[in-house]
Amino acid sequence: MGFSLGIVGLPNVGKSTLFSALCANKVDIQNYPFTTIDPNIGVVPVPDERLKFIHENLKSKKAVATTIEFYDIAGLVKGAHKGEGLGNQFLSQIRNVDAIAHVVRCFDSGQIMHVSGAVDPIKDIEIVETELILSDLELVDRKIRVLKIQAKTGDKKNSAKLTVCEKLYDHLSQGKLAIHFDFNLDEEELKAELALLTIKPVLYIANVDETGNVDRVANIKDFSTLKGFSVVPICSKLELDLAEMDEASAREYREVSGIKQSGLASLTISGYELLGLITFFTSNDKETHAWTIRKGTSVQRAAGKIHSDMEKKFIAAEVIHFDDLQNFPSLEALKNKGLFHLEGKGYIVQNGDLIYIRI
């Protein structure tokens, strides 16, 4: 799997419409059609033209995409951190995802009531983030009470954790997200123990109508810059309409309308950038496979994504850069040009690399 994304937001902002649009997309890749794990979780293949190119040129029998797991998380209301509405369900689900897709309403509609009475994207963002911060504050407060008892025994490790938690509590009390707290590298264990909600990176999904709601999107972009997050404008209603068309009709509509890529593609690109992820490929007669790893991953560690034995028994890797494959789209031509690169275990995998592992 590539990564998981929790779709969150206030009621009536278009979360479920976006979820339906993303999960209904028809992608020209075999083996990974949309599947439903339960009514609120969908797994979709990552659209990647490189996979299709390698599959077709190297003539493997099938292509296997890496995937994104989308969670359509229950709508948030004020008081969610206290269990109001579906608050407890919301907060438990959001802990399971890699990143948050925060859907923010930018469109006007006389038929769909806004929960606050008026469309105000920044106010909506602040309501959701406040609930997440309040939930984290309760969690950190409980942790502090436990650590104070444990620290009385003279345990230096717990005393150090207590100091960090007290600083973190002050940070959150100022309305700041945990992702902006300065954790040290040796505090990763504490981060894992806390499982904070506001430690997760965020994509703001500006849900627009067909006019684009330019001013409101601009406001969200200005706001997101201060947070260090990204904004993806998507017209969920249009995306759902396009997802229900056949592929040729949807492509034609996008071309005529000047829409460069689908909402799923835009969201995927932004998600990979946000989480620092890249894709590498493997290929043989049976299948061409896309794999997701973090930037900076060694080729030996990447081999472990394919199979744990490949990492343990790793000897070397033959690497073909995707740009070279585009210029010489056959293995024979690449070998003749000396474009098979033999790499040791310390080689850092580059985005788009085609890799053959030797064990």
Residue 109 in marked binding region: no
The H helix count followed by the E strand count for the chain is: 14, 13
Spatial neighbors of 221 by CB under 8 A, at least 6 apart, are 231
Helix axes 263-275, 236-243, angle to 10 degrees: 120
Residue 213 in marked binding region: no
Calpha distance 191→71 (Å, rounded): 23
Q: Using DSSP bridges, classify how beta strands 287-294 and 277-283 pair: parallel, antiparallel or unpaired.
A: antiparallel
CA angle 54, 301, 32 (to 5 degrees): 40
Helix axes 214-227, 121-151, angle to 10 degrees: 20
The count of other CB atoms within 10 Å of the CB of residue 130 is 14
User: Which DSSP string do the residues of 30-60 spell out, in sequence order?
Assistant: SS---EEEETTEEEEEPP-HHHHHHHHHHT-
Spatial neighbors of 160 by CB under 8 A, at least 6 apart, are none
Residue 154 in marked binding region: no
Residue 271 in marked binding region: no
Spatial neighbors of 188 by CB under 8 A, at least 6 apart, are none
Residue 14 in marked binding region: yes
Residue 13 in marked binding region: yes
At 355, list the tokens.
Answer: 């890799």
SS3 state of residue 69 = strand
The binding site comprises 12-17
The binding site for ATP comprises 12-17
